[in-house]
Amino acid sequence: MDLSAINPVLLIASLMVAATPILLAAIGELICEKSGVLNLGVEGMMIIGAVCGFAVAYETGSATLGFIGAAAAGAALSLLFAFLTQALLANQVASGLALTLFGLGLSALIGKGYSGTKPPSVPHLDLPIISDLPVVGPILFQHDAVLYLALLLVAATWAVLKYSRVGLILRAVGENHDAAHALGYKVVRIRTLAIMFGGACAGLGGAYLSLVRVPLWTEGMTAGAGWIALAIVVFGSWKPWRVLLGAYLFGGVTVLQFNLQTAGVSIPVQYLAMSPYIITILVLVIMSSSKSRSALNAPAALGRIFHATH
């Protein structure tokens, strides 16, 4: 065992990369849940985003088009969920689970011809002088544009929810859809847009996995990332900055277990691989032990079906 082989600067930089796909999916799900919709299909939308983003990037030679294609694919798949739950008034939990299973199957079909191929590389932003700073440079200023986009998305989500009229309407729909409807707000339209936003973010997160984190396509490569994103929304008490903290916590544990394996820690690899998920479960258990804390920001109408009677 040689812990000196672990470079703390590279560890933190890798942590940010590992957290980004989960952060993107979690922020999208947070907006979706703030509107009162519980979408358990995040995993399915992420894997569709991963395969479509990879396919578009590979065929066009442009990673940027790949990310755009992934966001469009995630949003398109989320429309299926929106149709089932908002138009047909289907159960949200069952529809979300069906969406995940559908996404996993469809991605395997689409990705058949892309196994073993390499996508175009995603360039890192190179800021003169700043990127070359010791310690701070590699940690903060040597990443790709999508990682910074995820951080900006967190800040924008916080600002919109707290200070804008759009955020107020979204929260109103999520708290009491009947009252919002009585005030003249189009509940179904607002929730559909929130679902599509969540789908686009999940698609981006999936594409980040297949184009940046692990630049190749492998069937089922999300490996539960969508479920972790769902858990992190609860862990973050439906607050963007706490969601960011949760995503970075999970990313840190994930990267640390890889580094411990490399350093030759005498713990079975399987236990190390399980550690991020175990820690996520423990955090959720601790959070839910205080119901007043965990439920403080949960939208009151979350998961409830809206039926306009007039």
pLDDT tens digits along 196-233? 999 999 999 999 999 999 899 999 999 889 999 998 99
Give 3-112+141-294's CATH code, choosing from 1.10.3470, 3.40.1440, 3.40.50, 2.20.25: 1.10.3470
Cβ neighbours for 114, distance < 8 A, ≥ 6 positions apart? 51, 54, 55, 58, 217
- Give the range among 51-65, 244-258, 271-285 with minimum mean pLDDT: 271-285
Q: How far apart are CA 104 and CA 300, in angstroms?
A: 31
Structure tokens at 179: 């009252």
Question: Higher confidence at residue 118 or residue 297?
Answer: 118
What ranges in the chain are assigned the alpha helix state H? Answer: 8-34, 42-60, 63-82, 92-110, 136-140, 145-163, 165-175, 177-182, 187-208, 225-235, 240-262, 269-289, 291-294
- The whole-model pTM stands at 0.92
Q: Report the candidate in 194, 192, 276, 191 with the shortest Cα–Cα distance to residue 235.
A: 276
pLDDT tens digits along 146-160? 999 999 999 999 999
Q: Report the candidate in 89, 85, 88 with the shortest Cα–Cα distance to residue 33.
A: 85
Q: How far apart are CA 222 and CA 46, in angstroms?
A: 7
Residue 296 pLDDT:
58
Band of pLDDT at residue 134, cut at 50, 70 and 90: confident
Structure tokens at 52: 């479509």
- Give the range among 38-42, 55-59, 265-269 with minimum mean pLDDT: 265-269
pLDDT tens digits along 3-13? 666 778 888 88
